[in-house]
């Protein structure tokens, strides 16, 4: 896999950036590094302030991937932006609940709900 | 005890080698028609344990390897993952769910292993983890010991 491979599908809906993960499994260390860098670029380089992360394709997520999401959340907050998560399947939502990260992130059942009032 | 499949191998301290052994074990579970939820939990726990062994245990040192042994029956799976690092004390890992640790980007691997496996035990030195998972509908203890 080349480091230039796009791991995120990005769409602008009104003034909100909707990001869909391309991968079903966000497990592999190298892949997580690339995904993290592409996510951080949305804030650090593109200065996007309202971001929705859509997990509809994602079937597996490791703690290393959670770490990248936490760093992303910090970056968005530091830039006074807002981050919302949506469409997380039940197994993965359980991972967020076990780790209490459902308290840190704002999670919506689907993209439509995530975009409401954003 | 009726073990359906078992293997033991040494893998190099490379995450891609960890991925390959992970796929091999998941394939065994799928061949034995384990429920999807069990497969999810074992994959997640395996990923965390292998990354711990390769990255934190062996520090990605090419001269060190990781021993992986696996036994699968129709009722349970038992996996041992042993690195050649110095080991650690699992009880000393801070609770990642405490408010002050919630925003730390790491330290959740052991908690996830414990949440998704039936039992997770570390040897005294802490460089070997034994993961056991009973098939969802199986109430009895693991018969792979």
HEC sequence for chain A:
CCCCCCCEEEEEECCEEEEEECCCEECCHHHHHHHHHHHHHHHHCCCCCEEEEECCCCCEECHHHHHHHHHHHHHHHHCCCEEEEECCCHHHHHHHHHCCHHHHCEEECCHHHHHCCC
Query: In the predicted model, is pLDDT for residue B142 greater than 80?
Result: no
pLDDT of residue A1: 38
For residue B57, what is the DSSP state? I
Q: Which domains does chain B show, CATH number per domain?
A: 3-134 (3.30.565.10)
Higher pLDDT, B144 or B126: B126
What pLDDT sits at residue B145? 63
pLDDT in tens, B5-30: 999 999 999 999 999 999 999 999 99
In this model, does residue A48 exceed pLDDT 60?
Answer: yes
Beta strand B65-73 pairing with B76-82: antiparallel
Q: Which two tokens stand for residue A57?
A: 């394709």
Can you say whether residue A49 is alpha, beta or left, with left for phi > 0 and alpha for psi between -120 and 50 degrees? alpha
Q: Which residue of chain B is at minimal alpha-carbon distance from A96?
A: B112
What's the confidence (pLDDT) of residue A27? 87
What is the pLDDT averaged over residues A98-118? 96
Is pLDDT above 90 for A11?
Answer: yes
Chain A positions touching B43 (Cβ under 8 A) are: 27, 60
Q: What is the pLDDT of residue A36?
A: 96
User: Nearest residue of B to residue A30 by CA position?
Assistant: B15
Mean pLDDT on B81-89 = 96
- CA–CA min distance A63, chain B (Å): 6
User: What is the sign, positive or negative, of the torsion defined by CA atoms of A31, B53, A97, A50?
Assistant: negative
> Is the CB of residue A22 less than 8 Å away from at least one CB of chain B?
no
**3-class DSSP state for residue B42?**
helix
Q: Given an 8 Å threshold on Cβ–Cβ distance, is B97 in contact with A63?
A: no
* ipTM given for this complex: 0.89
Reported as a pLDDT band with limits 50, 70 and 90, residue B82 is very high
Nearest to A64 among B19, B51, B103 (CB): B51
- With CA atoms as reference, the chain A residue closest to B44 would be A62
Mean pLDDT of B116-131: 96
A91 inside 8 A of chain B by CB: yes
pLDDT at residue B127 above 60?
yes
For residue B80, how many other CB atoms are within 10 A of its CB?
18
> Among 2.40.10.220, 3.40.50.300, 3.40.50.2020, 3.30.750.24, what is the CATH number of A8-115?
3.30.750.24
In chain A, what percentage of residues exceed pLDDT 90? Answer: 88
CA dihedral A35, A36, A38, A44 (to 10 degrees): 170
Interchain pair A91, B111: CB under 8 A: no
> Has residue B138 got a pLDDT over 90?
no
Asked if B134 and B69 touch (Cβ cutoff 8 Å), the reply is no
CB contact under 8 A, A99 and B15: no
Q: What percent of chain A has pLDDT over 70?
A: 97
Sign of the CA dihedral B48, B49, B53, B56?
positive
């Amino acid at each position: 896999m080349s480091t230039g491979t796009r791991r995120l599908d990005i769409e602008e809906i009104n003034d909100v950036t909707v990001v869909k993960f391309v991968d079903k499994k966000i497990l592999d260390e190298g892949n997580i590094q690339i995904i993290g860098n592409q996510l951080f670029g949305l804030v650090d380089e593109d200065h996007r302030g309202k971001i929705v992360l859509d997990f509809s394709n994602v079937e597996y997520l490791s703690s290393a991937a959670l770490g990248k999401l936490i760093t992303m959340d910090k970056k968005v907050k530091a830039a006074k932006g807002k981050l919302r998560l949506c469409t997380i399947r039940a197994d993965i939502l359980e991972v967020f609940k076990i780790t209490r990260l459902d308290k840190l992130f704002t999670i919506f059942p689907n993209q439509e709900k995530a975009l409401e009032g954003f | 005890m009726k073990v359906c499949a078992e293997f033991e191998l040494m893998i190099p301290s490379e995450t891609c080698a960890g991925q390959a052994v992970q796929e091999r074990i998941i394939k065994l579970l799928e061949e034995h028609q384990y429920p999807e939820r069990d497969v999810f939990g074992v994959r997640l726990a395996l990923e965390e344990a292998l990354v711990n062994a390769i990255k934190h245990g062996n520090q990605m040192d090419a001269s060190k390897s990781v021993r992986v042994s696996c036994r699968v029956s129709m009722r349970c799976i038992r996996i041992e993952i042993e690195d050649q690092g110095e080991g650690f004390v699992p009880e000393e890992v801070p609770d990642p769910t405490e408010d002050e640790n919630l925003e730390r980007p790491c330290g959740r691997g052991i908690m996830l292993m414990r949440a998704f496996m039936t039992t997770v035990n570390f040897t005294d030195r802490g460089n070997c983890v034994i993961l056991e998972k009973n098939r969802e509908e199986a109430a009895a203890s693991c018969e792979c010991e």
